[in-house]
Protein backbone atom coordinates (compact mmCIF):
# COMPACT_ATOMS: atom_id res chain seq x y z
CA UNK A 1 0.00 0.00 0.00
CA UNK A 2 1.27 3.44 -0.83
CA UNK A 3 2.26 5.45 2.23
CA UNK A 4 1.55 9.14 2.60
CA UNK A 5 2.74 12.04 4.70
CA UNK A 6 -0.37 14.12 5.35
CA UNK A 7 -1.28 17.21 7.31
CA UNK A 8 -4.72 16.49 8.74
CA UNK A 9 -6.73 19.00 10.67
CA UNK A 10 -8.31 18.43 14.04
CA UNK A 11 -12.08 18.47 13.69
CA UNK A 12 -12.80 17.70 17.32
CA UNK A 13 -10.98 16.73 20.49
CA UNK A 14 -13.40 14.76 22.69
CA UNK A 15 -12.44 14.29 26.32
CA UNK A 16 -13.48 10.74 27.15
CA UNK A 17 -12.01 10.50 30.65
CA UNK A 18 -9.19 12.05 32.63
CA UNK A 19 -6.66 10.03 30.63
CA UNK A 20 -8.36 9.32 27.30
CA UNK A 21 -9.02 11.72 24.45
CA UNK A 22 -10.53 11.07 21.04
CA UNK A 23 -8.95 13.11 18.27
CA UNK A 24 -11.17 13.30 15.21
CA UNK A 25 -9.11 14.34 12.20
CA UNK A 26 -10.22 15.33 8.75
CA UNK A 27 -8.85 16.62 5.49
CA UNK A 28 -9.95 18.60 2.46
CA UNK A 29 -8.70 15.64 0.42
CA UNK A 30 -10.22 12.17 0.51
CA UNK A 31 -8.47 10.03 3.15
CA UNK A 32 -6.45 7.11 1.75
CA UNK A 33 -7.60 3.52 2.22
CA UNK A 34 -6.49 2.17 5.59
CA UNK A 35 -6.95 -1.40 6.81
CA UNK A 36 -7.92 -2.43 10.36
CA UNK A 37 -4.81 -2.92 12.50
CA UNK A 38 -2.69 -0.38 10.65
CA UNK A 39 -1.23 2.64 12.40
CA UNK A 40 0.07 6.15 11.84
CA UNK A 41 3.33 7.80 12.91
CA UNK A 42 2.27 11.11 14.40
CA UNK A 43 4.64 14.06 14.63
CA UNK A 44 4.20 15.90 17.90
CA UNK A 45 4.97 19.59 17.51
CA UNK A 46 5.21 21.86 20.50
CA UNK A 47 6.46 19.33 23.03
CA UNK A 48 10.05 20.07 24.00
CA UNK A 49 10.81 16.54 25.20
CA UNK A 50 9.19 14.65 22.32
CA UNK A 51 11.72 14.11 19.55
CA UNK A 52 10.44 11.08 17.65
CA UNK A 53 7.05 10.52 16.05
CA UNK A 54 4.55 8.47 18.04
CA UNK A 55 3.06 5.30 16.57
CA UNK A 56 -0.70 5.42 17.16
CA UNK A 57 -3.32 2.86 16.07
CA UNK A 58 -6.03 3.84 13.68
CA UNK A 59 -9.03 3.76 16.00
CA UNK A 60 -11.72 4.20 13.39
CA UNK A 61 -12.29 5.63 9.92
CA UNK A 62 -15.52 7.09 8.69
CA UNK A 63 -15.07 7.39 4.93
CA UNK A 64 -18.47 9.06 4.49
CA UNK A 65 -17.58 11.85 6.89
CA UNK A 66 -13.89 11.70 5.79
CA UNK A 67 -12.88 11.30 9.44
CA UNK A 68 -9.93 9.49 10.97
CA UNK A 69 -10.10 8.77 14.70
CA UNK A 70 -7.13 8.44 17.03
CA UNK A 71 -7.55 7.32 20.63
CA UNK A 72 -4.99 9.14 22.78
CA UNK A 73 -4.03 7.93 26.24
CA UNK A 74 -2.15 10.63 28.13
CA UNK A 75 1.06 8.96 29.27
CA UNK A 76 3.96 11.36 28.71
CA UNK A 77 4.62 14.84 27.45
CA UNK A 78 3.97 13.97 23.79
CA UNK A 79 0.54 12.44 24.35
CA UNK A 80 -0.25 15.29 26.76
CA UNK A 81 0.38 17.74 23.92
CA UNK A 82 -1.80 15.67 21.56
CA UNK A 83 -4.56 15.70 24.14
CA UNK A 84 -4.41 19.51 24.22
CA UNK A 85 -5.01 19.93 20.49
CA UNK A 86 -7.95 22.07 19.51
CA UNK A 87 -10.21 22.14 16.46
CA UNK A 88 -8.51 23.62 13.41
CA UNK A 89 -4.97 22.70 14.48
CA UNK A 90 -2.91 20.66 12.04
CA UNK A 91 -1.33 17.27 12.74
CA UNK A 92 1.32 15.64 10.52
CA UNK A 93 0.99 11.88 10.05
CA UNK A 94 2.69 9.13 8.08
CA UNK A 95 0.10 6.53 7.12
CA UNK A 96 -1.08 3.88 6.54
CA UNK A 97 1.74 1.90 8.17
CA UNK A 98 2.13 -1.78 9.05
CA UNK A 99 0.06 -4.82 8.19
CA UNK A 100 -3.54 -5.57 9.14
CA UNK A 101 -5.73 -8.05 10.99
CA UNK A 102 -6.82 -10.93 8.74
CA UNK A 103 -10.52 -11.67 8.68
CA UNK A 104 -11.66 -15.29 9.18
CA UNK A 105 -11.76 -17.53 6.15
CA UNK A 106 -15.09 -19.07 7.22
CA UNK A 107 -18.02 -16.65 7.06
CA UNK A 108 -19.77 -18.32 10.01
CA UNK A 109 -16.70 -18.13 12.27
CA UNK A 110 -17.28 -16.86 15.78
CA UNK A 111 -14.91 -14.04 16.60
CA UNK A 112 -13.89 -12.35 19.83
CA UNK A 113 -12.02 -9.05 19.92
CA UNK A 114 -10.23 -8.70 23.25
CA UNK A 115 -8.83 -5.33 24.34
CA UNK A 116 -7.30 -3.94 27.49
CA UNK A 117 -6.42 -0.34 28.33
CA UNK A 118 -5.51 1.77 25.30
CA UNK A 119 -5.12 -1.50 23.39
CA UNK A 120 -8.82 -1.32 22.61
CA UNK A 121 -7.99 1.33 19.99
CA UNK A 122 -7.58 -0.76 16.79
CA UNK A 123 -10.47 -3.06 17.73
CA UNK A 124 -13.24 -0.55 17.01
CA UNK A 125 -12.26 -0.23 13.36
CA UNK A 126 -11.64 -3.98 13.13
CA UNK A 127 -15.12 -4.67 14.56
CA UNK A 128 -16.72 -2.26 12.09
CA UNK A 129 -14.84 -3.91 9.23
CA UNK A 130 -15.80 -7.43 10.30
CA UNK A 131 -19.45 -6.50 10.75
CA UNK A 132 -19.55 -4.89 7.32
CA UNK A 133 -18.17 -8.12 5.87
CA UNK A 134 -20.92 -10.18 7.48
CA UNK A 135 -19.28 -11.51 10.64
CA UNK A 136 -20.94 -11.67 14.01
CA UNK A 137 -18.69 -9.62 16.25
CA UNK A 138 -18.13 -9.90 20.01
CA UNK A 139 -15.98 -7.49 22.01
CA UNK A 140 -14.46 -8.26 25.40
CA UNK A 141 -13.02 -5.08 26.86
CA UNK A 142 -11.19 -4.69 30.15
CA UNK A 143 -9.93 -1.83 32.24
CA UNK A 144 -8.91 -1.00 35.80
CA UNK A 145 -12.13 0.81 36.59
CA UNK A 146 -15.36 1.88 34.87
CA UNK A 147 -14.13 5.39 34.01
CA UNK A 148 -11.47 3.81 31.80
CA UNK A 149 -14.02 1.77 29.86
CA UNK A 150 -14.76 4.36 27.26
CA UNK A 151 -16.99 4.71 24.21
CA UNK A 152 -18.84 1.45 24.88
CA UNK A 153 -21.75 2.69 22.75
CA UNK A 154 -19.41 2.94 19.78
CA UNK A 155 -18.48 -0.74 20.10
CA UNK A 156 -22.14 -1.67 20.56
CA UNK A 157 -22.83 -0.38 17.03
CA UNK A 158 -20.83 -3.29 15.66
CA UNK A 159 -21.33 -6.21 18.04
CA UNK A 160 -21.98 -7.58 21.52
CA UNK A 161 -19.89 -5.94 24.21
CA UNK A 162 -18.69 -7.76 27.33
CA UNK A 163 -16.63 -5.99 29.97
CA UNK A 164 -14.45 -6.55 32.99
CA UNK A 165 -12.98 -4.13 35.50
CA UNK A 166 -10.32 -4.94 38.05
CA UNK A 167 -12.31 -3.20 40.78
CA UNK A 168 -15.67 -4.59 39.69
CA UNK A 169 -17.23 -1.17 39.05
CA UNK A 170 -18.50 -2.28 35.62
CA UNK A 171 -18.99 -5.72 34.12
CA UNK A 172 -17.40 -8.76 35.73
CA UNK A 173 -14.68 -8.21 38.32
CA UNK A 174 -11.17 -9.27 37.29
CA UNK A 175 -9.15 -9.50 34.11
CA UNK A 176 -10.60 -10.04 30.64
CA UNK A 177 -9.25 -13.58 30.54
CA UNK A 178 -11.25 -14.42 33.70
CA UNK A 179 -14.56 -13.45 32.08
CA UNK A 180 -17.20 -16.21 32.19
CA UNK A 181 -17.69 -15.80 28.42
CA UNK A 182 -14.44 -17.65 27.85
CA UNK A 183 -15.62 -20.69 29.82
CA UNK A 184 -19.03 -20.91 28.24
CA UNK A 185 -18.40 -20.42 24.53
CA UNK A 186 -15.88 -21.48 21.97
CA UNK A 187 -14.52 -18.87 19.61
CA UNK A 188 -12.77 -19.67 16.33
CA UNK A 189 -10.83 -16.42 16.12
CA UNK A 190 -9.31 -14.13 18.73
CA UNK A 191 -8.01 -10.66 17.90
CA UNK A 192 -6.29 -8.92 20.76
CA UNK A 193 -4.41 -5.78 21.65
CA UNK A 194 -3.37 -4.47 25.04
CA UNK A 195 -0.80 -5.10 27.76
CA UNK A 196 1.54 -8.01 26.93
CA UNK A 197 0.51 -10.18 29.93
CA UNK A 198 -3.13 -9.83 28.81
CA UNK A 199 -2.32 -10.73 25.20
CA UNK A 200 -0.28 -13.72 26.36
CA UNK A 201 -3.21 -14.92 28.48
CA UNK A 202 -5.53 -14.57 25.47
CA UNK A 203 -2.99 -16.41 23.31
CA UNK A 204 -2.81 -19.20 25.92
CA UNK A 205 -6.59 -19.56 25.89
CA UNK A 206 -6.66 -19.56 22.09
CA UNK A 207 -4.01 -22.26 21.86
CA UNK A 208 -5.85 -24.38 24.44
CA UNK A 209 -9.11 -24.13 22.50
CA UNK A 210 -7.39 -24.56 19.12
CA UNK A 211 -8.52 -21.15 17.94
CA UNK A 212 -6.66 -18.77 15.68
CA UNK A 213 -5.23 -15.76 17.47
CA UNK A 214 -3.79 -12.53 16.13
CA UNK A 215 -2.14 -10.01 18.44
CA UNK A 216 -1.15 -6.41 17.80
CA UNK A 217 2.20 -5.44 19.33
CA UNK A 218 3.15 -2.01 20.60
CA UNK A 219 6.97 -2.03 20.51
CA UNK A 220 8.67 1.34 20.73
CA UNK A 221 9.54 2.63 17.28
CA UNK A 222 11.60 5.32 15.62
CA UNK A 223 10.98 5.39 11.85
CA UNK A 224 7.80 3.29 11.54
CA UNK A 225 8.68 2.23 7.98
CA UNK A 226 11.25 -0.56 8.39
CA UNK A 227 14.41 1.50 8.04
CA UNK A 228 15.87 1.77 11.54
CA UNK A 229 15.24 -1.80 12.78
CA UNK A 230 14.61 -0.58 16.33
CA UNK A 231 11.17 -2.12 16.95
CA UNK A 232 11.97 -5.78 16.27
CA UNK A 233 10.30 -8.76 17.88
CA UNK A 234 11.65 -12.31 17.88
CA UNK A 235 9.77 -14.65 15.56
CA UNK A 236 10.20 -18.06 13.98
CA UNK A 237 11.94 -16.16 11.15
CA UNK A 238 14.28 -14.26 13.49
CA UNK A 239 14.09 -10.58 14.39
CA UNK A 240 11.52 -8.77 12.27
CA UNK A 241 10.28 -5.18 12.38
CA UNK A 242 6.96 -4.75 14.18
CA UNK A 243 6.34 -1.64 12.05
CA UNK A 244 6.40 -3.48 8.71
CA UNK A 245 5.95 -7.23 9.39
CA UNK A 246 3.47 -6.31 12.14
CA UNK A 247 2.03 -4.79 14.22
CA UNK A 248 -0.34 -7.75 13.80
CA UNK A 249 1.16 -11.23 14.29
CA UNK A 250 -0.36 -14.68 14.39
CA UNK A 251 0.75 -16.06 17.76
CA UNK A 252 2.21 -19.16 16.08
CA UNK A 253 4.82 -16.90 14.50
CA UNK A 254 5.95 -15.29 17.76
CA UNK A 255 8.46 -16.85 20.11
CA UNK A 256 6.34 -16.15 23.17
CA UNK A 257 6.57 -18.42 26.19
CA UNK A 258 2.86 -19.18 26.56
CA UNK B 1 20.40 28.09 -9.39
CA UNK B 2 23.91 27.40 -8.14
CA UNK B 3 25.96 24.38 -9.14
CA UNK B 4 25.49 21.69 -6.49
CA UNK B 5 27.81 19.09 -8.06
CA UNK B 6 30.60 17.90 -5.83
CA UNK B 7 33.29 15.23 -6.14
CA UNK B 8 34.24 13.26 -3.04
CA UNK B 9 37.27 11.11 -3.72
CA UNK B 10 36.28 9.02 -6.74
CA UNK B 11 32.58 9.77 -6.31
CA UNK B 12 30.64 12.29 -8.35
CA UNK B 13 27.61 13.59 -6.49
CA UNK B 14 24.85 15.69 -8.00
CA UNK B 15 24.61 17.44 -4.66
CA UNK B 16 26.31 17.11 -1.26
CA UNK B 17 23.36 15.51 0.54
CA UNK B 18 23.58 11.81 1.39
CA UNK B 19 21.66 9.58 3.75
CA UNK B 20 23.42 8.00 6.72
CA UNK B 21 23.72 4.25 7.03
CA UNK B 22 21.12 2.54 9.17
CA UNK B 23 18.63 5.38 8.89
CA UNK B 24 17.42 5.02 5.33
CA UNK B 25 17.23 1.23 4.87
CA UNK B 26 17.96 0.48 1.23
CA UNK B 27 16.16 3.60 0.01
CA UNK B 28 13.04 1.74 -1.09
CA UNK B 29 11.51 2.19 2.38
CA UNK B 30 11.29 5.92 1.59
CA UNK B 31 10.33 5.80 -2.09
CA UNK B 32 6.65 6.60 -1.41
CA UNK B 33 7.68 9.92 0.12
CA UNK B 34 10.35 11.30 -2.20
CA UNK B 35 12.18 10.91 -5.50
CA UNK B 36 15.31 8.95 -4.50
CA UNK B 37 17.18 10.10 -7.60
CA UNK B 38 17.30 13.65 -6.23
CA UNK B 39 19.59 12.60 -3.36
CA UNK B 40 23.36 12.90 -3.83
CA UNK B 41 24.06 9.48 -2.35
CA UNK B 42 22.35 6.75 -0.37
CA UNK B 43 24.48 4.85 2.14
CA UNK B 44 22.63 1.61 2.71
CA UNK B 45 22.38 -0.40 5.88
CA UNK B 46 25.55 -1.85 7.47
CA UNK B 47 26.42 -5.09 5.72
CA UNK B 48 28.49 -7.98 7.04
CA UNK B 49 29.88 -11.15 5.52
CA UNK B 50 27.19 -13.31 7.15
CA UNK B 51 23.64 -12.54 8.28
CA UNK B 52 23.34 -11.02 11.75
CA UNK B 53 20.26 -10.98 13.98
CA UNK B 54 21.40 -7.90 15.87
CA UNK B 55 20.73 -7.27 19.54
CA UNK B 56 17.58 -8.20 21.50
CA UNK B 57 14.73 -5.72 21.92
CA UNK B 58 14.63 -3.05 23.37
CA UNK B 59 17.09 -1.43 21.00
CA UNK B 60 16.02 2.20 21.16
CA UNK B 61 15.51 4.91 23.74
CA UNK B 62 14.30 8.41 23.03
CA UNK B 63 16.50 11.00 24.75
CA UNK B 64 16.48 14.80 24.92
CA UNK B 65 16.76 15.98 21.28
CA UNK B 66 17.91 12.59 20.11
CA UNK B 67 17.81 8.87 20.51
CA UNK B 68 19.97 5.94 21.53
CA UNK B 69 20.06 2.85 19.37
CA UNK B 70 21.55 -0.56 19.88
CA UNK B 71 20.47 -2.33 16.71
CA UNK B 72 23.76 -4.18 16.42
CA UNK B 73 24.13 -4.44 12.64
CA UNK B 74 21.11 -6.61 11.93
CA UNK B 75 21.34 -7.49 8.24
CA UNK B 76 20.97 -10.50 5.96
CA UNK B 77 24.60 -10.63 4.86
CA UNK B 78 26.48 -9.48 1.77
CA UNK B 79 25.36 -12.37 -0.46
CA UNK B 80 21.72 -11.56 0.24
CA UNK B 81 22.45 -7.94 -0.58
CA UNK B 82 24.10 -8.90 -3.88
CA UNK B 83 21.40 -11.34 -4.95
CA UNK B 84 18.22 -9.73 -3.66
CA UNK B 85 18.72 -6.06 -2.89
CA UNK B 86 21.29 -4.91 -5.43
CA UNK B 87 19.00 -5.75 -8.40
CA UNK B 88 16.28 -3.52 -6.90
CA UNK B 89 18.53 -0.50 -6.19
CA UNK B 90 21.14 -0.60 -8.96
CA UNK B 91 19.12 1.50 -11.39
CA UNK B 92 18.29 4.33 -9.00
CA UNK B 93 19.98 7.40 -10.45
CA UNK B 94 22.13 8.21 -7.42
CA UNK B 95 25.27 6.89 -5.75
CA UNK B 96 24.42 3.73 -3.82
CA UNK B 97 27.19 3.20 -1.27
CA UNK B 98 27.30 0.10 0.93
CA UNK B 99 28.30 0.46 4.56
CA UNK B 100 30.57 -2.47 5.44
CA UNK B 101 31.26 -3.87 8.88
CA UNK B 102 32.96 -6.92 10.31
CA UNK B 103 34.27 -8.67 13.40
CA UNK B 104 37.71 -9.40 11.91
CA UNK B 105 39.88 -7.80 9.24
CA UNK B 106 39.28 -10.85 7.03
CA UNK B 107 35.52 -10.30 7.25
CA UNK B 108 35.86 -6.66 6.16
CA UNK B 109 38.09 -7.69 3.27
CA UNK B 110 35.89 -10.56 2.13
CA UNK B 111 32.77 -8.35 2.16
CA UNK B 112 34.53 -5.53 0.31
CA UNK B 113 35.86 -7.94 -2.34
CA UNK B 114 32.37 -9.22 -3.04
CA UNK B 115 31.05 -5.68 -3.46
CA UNK B 116 33.93 -4.68 -5.73
CA UNK B 117 32.36 -6.55 -8.62
CA UNK B 118 29.02 -4.71 -8.47
CA UNK B 119 29.01 -2.29 -11.36
CA UNK B 120 26.55 0.20 -9.93
CA UNK B 121 28.04 0.39 -6.45
CA UNK B 122 30.68 3.12 -6.84
CA UNK B 123 31.97 2.93 -3.29
CA UNK B 124 31.79 1.52 0.20
CA UNK B 125 31.79 3.15 3.60
CA UNK B 126 33.96 1.23 6.01
CA UNK B 127 32.29 1.18 9.41
CA UNK B 128 35.06 1.02 11.99
CA UNK B 129 32.90 2.80 14.50
CA UNK B 130 29.76 0.82 15.36
CA UNK B 131 29.38 0.99 19.15
CA UNK B 132 26.77 -1.77 19.32
CA UNK B 133 28.66 -4.97 18.54
CA UNK B 134 30.80 -6.99 20.92
CA UNK B 135 33.62 -7.75 18.48
CA UNK B 136 35.07 -5.55 15.76
CA UNK B 137 33.09 -2.46 14.87
CA UNK B 138 34.17 0.41 17.06
CA UNK B 139 37.17 -1.53 18.37
CA UNK B 140 38.88 -0.99 15.00
CA UNK B 141 38.18 2.70 14.99
CA UNK B 142 39.49 3.60 18.42
CA UNK B 143 43.20 3.09 17.88
CA UNK B 144 45.39 4.34 15.06
CA UNK B 145 47.06 0.94 14.73
CA UNK B 146 43.90 -1.14 14.26
CA UNK B 147 42.27 1.52 12.08
CA UNK B 148 45.34 1.51 9.85
CA UNK B 149 45.41 -2.28 9.66
CA UNK B 150 41.81 -2.68 8.57
CA UNK B 151 41.92 0.19 6.07
CA UNK B 152 45.21 -1.10 4.57
CA UNK B 153 43.77 -4.57 4.10
CA UNK B 154 40.52 -3.34 2.57
CA UNK B 155 42.33 -0.83 0.36
CA UNK B 156 44.32 -3.67 -1.21
CA UNK B 157 41.15 -5.61 -1.96
CA UNK B 158 38.81 -2.79 -2.94
CA UNK B 159 39.59 -0.56 -5.90
CA UNK B 160 36.64 1.83 -6.01
CA UNK B 161 35.82 4.69 -3.66
CA UNK B 162 36.59 3.97 -0.02
CA UNK B 163 34.99 6.14 2.67
CA UNK B 164 36.03 5.39 6.25
CA UNK B 165 33.45 6.20 8.93
CA UNK B 166 35.06 7.39 12.14
CA UNK B 167 34.08 6.96 15.75
CA UNK B 168 33.74 10.00 18.01
CA UNK B 169 34.45 7.80 21.04
CA UNK B 170 38.18 8.56 20.98
CA UNK B 171 40.54 11.04 22.57
CA UNK B 172 41.70 12.61 19.30
CA UNK B 173 39.68 11.89 16.18
CA UNK B 174 42.19 13.76 13.96
CA UNK B 175 44.86 11.15 14.67
CA UNK B 176 42.59 8.37 13.47
CA UNK B 177 41.63 10.38 10.40
CA UNK B 178 45.31 10.93 9.53
CA UNK B 179 46.03 7.23 10.05
CA UNK B 180 43.30 6.09 7.62
CA UNK B 181 44.26 8.80 5.12
CA UNK B 182 47.80 7.42 5.11
CA UNK B 183 46.44 3.98 4.24
CA UNK B 184 44.60 5.21 1.18
CA UNK B 185 41.10 6.13 2.30
CA UNK B 186 39.45 8.34 -0.34
CA UNK B 187 37.47 10.25 2.28
CA UNK B 188 36.36 10.09 5.90
CA UNK B 189 32.82 10.40 7.25
CA UNK B 190 32.17 11.49 10.80
CA UNK B 191 30.73 11.15 13.31
CA UNK B 192 29.20 7.77 14.06
CA UNK B 193 27.09 7.69 17.21
CA UNK B 194 28.35 8.70 20.64
CA UNK B 195 28.27 5.99 23.28
CA UNK B 196 25.46 6.72 25.72
CA UNK B 197 23.02 5.19 28.18
CA UNK B 198 19.48 5.54 29.51
CA UNK B 199 17.91 4.14 32.69
CA UNK B 200 14.30 3.30 33.55
CA UNK B 201 14.13 4.54 37.14
CA UNK B 202 10.85 2.74 37.94
CA UNK B 203 12.31 -0.63 36.97
CA UNK B 204 15.85 0.35 38.04
CA UNK B 205 17.07 -1.23 34.82
CA UNK B 206 18.78 0.00 31.67
CA UNK B 207 16.34 0.90 28.88
CA UNK B 208 18.46 -0.85 26.24
CA UNK B 209 19.04 -4.61 26.25
CA UNK B 210 22.73 -3.90 25.71
CA UNK B 211 22.88 -1.33 28.57
CA UNK B 212 24.73 1.19 26.37
CA UNK B 213 23.95 2.37 22.84
CA UNK B 214 24.75 4.98 20.23
CA UNK B 215 23.43 8.53 20.61
CA UNK B 216 22.30 10.41 17.51
CA UNK B 217 20.14 13.38 16.65
CA UNK B 218 20.53 17.13 17.24
CA UNK B 219 21.87 16.43 20.74
CA UNK B 220 25.20 15.41 19.18
CA UNK B 221 25.45 18.16 16.56
CA UNK B 222 27.82 20.56 18.34
CA UNK B 223 30.20 17.69 19.12
CA UNK B 224 30.04 16.44 15.52
CA UNK B 225 30.61 19.92 14.14
CA UNK B 226 33.67 20.43 16.34
CA UNK B 227 35.12 17.09 15.22
CA UNK B 228 34.47 17.81 11.54
CA UNK B 229 36.23 21.14 11.97
CA UNK B 230 39.24 19.49 13.63
CA UNK B 231 39.51 16.69 11.06
CA UNK B 232 39.09 19.03 8.09
CA UNK B 233 42.04 21.03 9.40
CA UNK B 234 44.15 17.89 9.69
CA UNK B 235 43.57 15.86 6.50
CA UNK B 236 43.79 16.54 2.77
CA UNK B 237 41.12 14.03 1.69
CA UNK B 238 37.47 15.16 1.68
CA UNK B 239 35.46 15.04 4.88
CA UNK B 240 31.81 13.98 4.94
CA UNK B 241 30.05 15.53 7.93
CA UNK B 242 27.17 14.04 9.88
CA UNK B 243 25.67 14.17 13.32
CA UNK B 244 22.29 15.64 14.13
CA UNK B 245 21.66 17.50 10.88
CA UNK B 246 17.95 18.41 10.82
CA UNK B 247 17.78 21.14 8.15
CA UNK B 248 19.72 23.06 5.50
CA UNK B 249 21.17 25.48 8.01
CA UNK B 250 22.71 22.59 9.99
CA UNK B 251 24.09 21.12 6.75
CA UNK B 252 25.67 24.46 5.78
CA UNK B 253 27.32 24.71 9.21
CA UNK B 254 29.09 21.40 8.55
CA UNK B 255 30.19 22.53 5.10
CA UNK B 256 31.50 25.85 6.40
CA UNK B 257 33.44 23.85 8.99
CA UNK B 258 35.11 21.93 6.17
CA UNK B 259 32.80 19.11 5.11
CA UNK B 260 32.61 18.54 1.34
CA UNK B 261 29.35 16.64 1.73
CA UNK B 262 26.97 15.77 4.53
CA UNK B 263 24.83 12.83 5.61
CA UNK B 264 21.38 12.99 7.13
CA UNK B 265 20.47 10.25 9.55
CA UNK B 266 18.06 10.45 12.46
CA UNK B 267 16.16 13.37 10.89
CA UNK B 268 14.78 10.94 8.27
CA UNK B 269 12.71 9.35 11.06
CA UNK B 270 10.95 12.61 11.83
CA UNK B 271 10.59 13.85 8.25
CA UNK B 272 11.10 11.28 5.48
CA UNK B 273 11.40 14.13 2.96
CA UNK B 274 14.08 16.04 4.90
CA UNK B 275 16.84 15.29 2.36
CA UNK B 276 14.95 17.09 -0.39
CA UNK B 277 14.29 20.07 1.89
CA UNK B 278 18.00 20.26 2.74
CA UNK B 279 19.04 20.13 -0.95
CA UNK B 280 16.59 22.92 -1.79
CA UNK B 281 17.65 24.89 1.27
CA UNK B 282 21.35 24.71 0.39
CA UNK B 283 20.52 25.87 -3.11
CA UNK B 284 18.49 28.80 -1.80
CA UNK B 285 21.34 29.76 0.57
CA UNK B 286 23.89 29.73 -2.27
CA UNK B 287 21.64 31.89 -4.42
CA UNK B 288 20.95 34.29 -1.57
CA UNK B 289 24.69 34.76 -0.95
CA UNK B 290 25.59 34.86 -4.65
CA UNK B 291 27.72 31.74 -4.60
CA UNK B 292 28.04 30.06 -8.00
CA UNK B 293 28.91 26.64 -6.64
CA UNK B 294 28.47 24.63 -3.48
CA UNK B 295 32.25 24.16 -3.44
CA UNK B 296 32.51 27.85 -2.56
CA UNK B 297 31.25 27.24 0.96
CA UNK B 298 33.41 24.23 1.85
CA UNK B 299 35.65 25.32 4.70
CA UNK B 300 34.61 28.93 4.13
CA UNK B 301 34.31 29.59 7.84
CA UNK B 302 35.96 32.87 8.76
CA UNK B 303 37.68 32.74 12.14
Residue ranges covered by each domain of chain B: 6-297
Q: How distant is the alpha carbon of residue A168 from its chain centre?
A: 24
| Chain B residues 43-62 with a CB less than 8 Å from chain A | 45, 53-54, 56-62
For residues A33, A36, A38 and A39, what is the CA-based torsion angle, rounded to 10 degrees?
Answer: 90
Q: Tally the C-alpha atoms within 13 A of residue B146's C-alpha that lie toward its C-beta.
A: 20
Strands B239-241 and B261-264: parallel
Determine phi and psi for A189, rounding to 5 degrees. -135, 135
Q: Do the beta carbons of residue B196 and residue B63 sit within 8 Å?
A: yes
Q: Which residue of B has its CA nearest to A5?
A: B33
Q: Do A230 and B268 touch (CB under 8 A)?
A: no
| pLDDT one-digit tens code per residue, B77-124 | 999 999 999 999 999 999 999 999 999 999 999 999 999 999 999 999
The pTM assigned to this predicted structure is 0.96
> From the candidates A222, A237, A247, which should be mutated to test the interface with B, based on the most B CB atoms within 10 A?
A222
Task: Provide the shortest C-alpha distance from residue A244 to chain B (in Å).
Answer: 10
| Catalytic hit among B126, B130, B138, B267 | B130
Q: Which CATH number fits domain B6-297: 3.30.1300.10, 3.20.20.70, 3.40.50.720, 3.10.100.10?
A: 3.20.20.70
Kindly identify which residue of chain A lies nearest to residue B246, measuring between CA atoms: A51
Query: B3: which strand partners?
Result: B293
Active site residue B130: yes
pLDDT of residue B186: 98
Pairing of β A111-116 and β A137-143: parallel
Name the residue among A143, A184, A178 with its Cα closest to residue A20.
Answer: A143
Q: Is the CB of A15 inside 8 Å of chain B's CB atoms?
A: no
**Rounded Cα gap, residues A107 and B223, in angstroms:** 60
User: Taking CB atoms and an 8 Å limit, are B30 and A225 in contact across chains?
Assistant: yes
Contact residues on chain B for A42, CB-CB shorter than 8 A: none
Give the rounded percent of residues in chain B with a pLDDT score beyond 90. Answer: 95
CB contact under 8 A, B24 and A227: yes
Successive 10-residue mean pLDDT values, chain A, 258 residues: 97 95 97 98 94 97 97 95 97 98 95 94 98 96 93 96 96 94 89 96 95 97 98 97 98 92
Confidence of residue B1 (pLDDT cuts 50, 70, 90): confident
Most A-contacting residue of B24, B25, B267 (CB-CB within 10 A), to test interface: B25
pLDDT at position B135 is 67
> In the A/B pair of chains, how many CB contacts fall below 8 A?
89
pLDDT grade for B131, boundaries at 50, 70 and 90: confident
Residue B67 forms contact with A (CB below 8 Å):
yes
Chain B contact for A236 (CB, 8 A cutoff)? no
**Distance of residue B250 Cα from the nearest chain A Cα, in angstroms:** 17
Sign of CA dihedral A177, A182, A183, A186: negative
Q: Which domains does chain A have, with CATH numbers?
A: 4-97 (2.40.30.10), 111-216 (3.40.50.80)
Tell me what ipTM this predicted complex has. Answer: 0.95
Is there a contact between B144 and B176 (Cβ–Cβ < 8 Å)?
Answer: yes
- Looking at the predicted structure, is the pLDDT value of residue B288 above 70? yes
Which residues in chain A touch residue B69, judged by CB atoms under 8 angstroms apart?
222, 228, 230
Residues 6+ apart with CB under 8 A from A47: A77, A78, A80, A81
A1 touches chain B (CB under 8 A): no
| CA distance to partner chain A, nearest, from residue B144 (Å) | 30
**Phi and psi angles of residue A9, each rounded to the nearest 5 degrees, phi first:** -110, 145
Task: Give residue B134's pLDDT band: very low, low, confident or very high (50, 70, 90).
Answer: low
Contact between B272 and B264 under an 8 Å Cβ cutoff? The reply is: no
Tell me how far the alpha carbon of residue B107 is from its chain's centroid: 20
Query: Could you tell me if A251 and A207 are in contact, meaning their C-beta atoms sit under 8 angstroms apart?
Result: yes
Half-sphere exposure of B135 (CA within 13 A, CB side): 8
- 3 state SS of A74: coil
Q: Which positions in chain A touch B99 (Cβ < 8 Å)?
A: none
CB A212, CB A140: distance < 8 Å? no
> What's residue B139's pLDDT?
81
Instruction: Give me Rg for the CA atoms of chain B.
Output: 18
Pairing of strands B66-69, B60-63: antiparallel
Q: Is B268 on the interface with A (CB under 8 A)?
A: yes
Amino acid sequence: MKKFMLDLSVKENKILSDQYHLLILTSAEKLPEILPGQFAEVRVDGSATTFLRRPISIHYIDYDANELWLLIQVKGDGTKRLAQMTAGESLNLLLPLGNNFNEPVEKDASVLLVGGGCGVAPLLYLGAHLKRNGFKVNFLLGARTKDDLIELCEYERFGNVFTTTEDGTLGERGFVTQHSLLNGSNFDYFYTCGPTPMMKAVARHALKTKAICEVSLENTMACGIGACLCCVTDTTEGHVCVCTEGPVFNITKLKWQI
Amino acid sequence: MANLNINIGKLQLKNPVMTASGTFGYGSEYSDFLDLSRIGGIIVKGTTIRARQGNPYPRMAETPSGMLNAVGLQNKGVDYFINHIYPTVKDIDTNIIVNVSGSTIDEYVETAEKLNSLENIPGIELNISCPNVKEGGMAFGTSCLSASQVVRAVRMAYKKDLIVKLSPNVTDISEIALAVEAEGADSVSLINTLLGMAIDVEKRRPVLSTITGGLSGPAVKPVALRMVWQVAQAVKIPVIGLGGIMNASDAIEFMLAGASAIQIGTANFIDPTVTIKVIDGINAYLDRHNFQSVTDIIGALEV
